[in-house]
């Protein structure tokens, strides 16, 4: 049994790709993420895929910090168990306390990542935790990309979340998100991403189109 696997864990979230547990790591409260076995795949192939994705996520959690984004510290990576032990982040989920200032900071985080060609892949309010500082979690779907479309998918996803879960505040939230994003990416970079967002929506790839806030319509 490996070092990480031998520790007591309490399941807090069961997902299709991974299970999340609370554990203790040398007397510190910690989170451990274990990638789920896929029985439909050949065993050796499944092990290799899960191992690679485990290493990749741990790497991206660290790289995010160099971009200027607070993310959980990685304590230990167990390749045999396809497990990452990381910092437990205490705080409230952003989806429960959304406001304009918070949305602006989230936009800056997206800008920090995109300026370094890092795409989060699951940029939702559920993956931001607000405590003593704003922390972005779950880099399991993150990847490097210079493609505008990939960055636009990140922005389109948060826009869709705002328009559905926070419809009454949509205009203010998305406007402030774009303001924060523009602070990092600049007006030209933001305009290019928004144009690609509109292009994606026009192809019917996502939910019905929701207009950009009036402040940013000149960018389209």
Q: Are strands 134-136 and 92-93 parallel, antiparallel or unpaired?
A: unpaired
24: helix, strand or coil: strand
> What 3-state class would DSSP assign to 130?
strand
- Alpha-carbon torsion 39, 41, 45, 51, what sign? negative
Options 122, 150, 183, 211, the catalytic residue: 122
Show the tokens assigned to 185. 């990416």
Longest dimension (CA), the chain: 59
Q: Is 122 marked active-site?
A: yes
Spell out where the chain has E strands: 9-14, 18-25, 28-35, 74-78, 83-87, 92-93, 118-119, 128-130, 134-136, 143-144
Residue 143 and residue 126: Cα distance in Å, rounded?
A: 19
- How far lies 142's CA from each of 9, 114, 151, 153, 155, in Å? 26, 11, 11, 12, 14
- So which residues are the catalytic ones? 122
């Amino acid at each position: 049994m490996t070092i990480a696997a031998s520790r007591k864990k309490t399941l807090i979230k069961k997902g299709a790709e991974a299970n999340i547990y609370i554990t203790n790591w040398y007397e510190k409260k910690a989170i451990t993420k274990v990638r789920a076995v896929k029985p439909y795949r050949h065993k050796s192939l499944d092990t290799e895929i899960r191992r690679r994705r485990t290493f990749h996520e741990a790497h991206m959690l660290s790289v995010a910090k160099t971009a200027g984004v607070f993310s959980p510290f990685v304590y230990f990576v167990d390749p045999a168990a396809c497990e990452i032990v990381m910092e437990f982040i205490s705080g409230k989920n952003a989806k429960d306390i959304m406001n304009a200032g918070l949305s602006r900071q989230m936009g800056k985080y997206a800008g920090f990542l995109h300026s370094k060609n890092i795409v989060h892949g699951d940029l939702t309010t559920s993956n931001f935790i607000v405590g003593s500082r704003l922390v972005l979690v779950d880099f399991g779907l993150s990847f490097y990309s210079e493609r505008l479309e990939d960055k636009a998918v990140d922005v389109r996803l948060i826009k869709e979340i705002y328009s559905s879960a926070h419809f009454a505040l949509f205009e203010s939230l998305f406007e402030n998100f774009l303001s924060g994003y523009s602070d990092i990416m600049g007006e030209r970079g933001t305009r290019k991403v928004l144009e690609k967002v509109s292009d994606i929506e026009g192809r019917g790839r996502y939910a019905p189109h929701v207009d950009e806030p009036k402040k940013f319509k000149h960018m389209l």
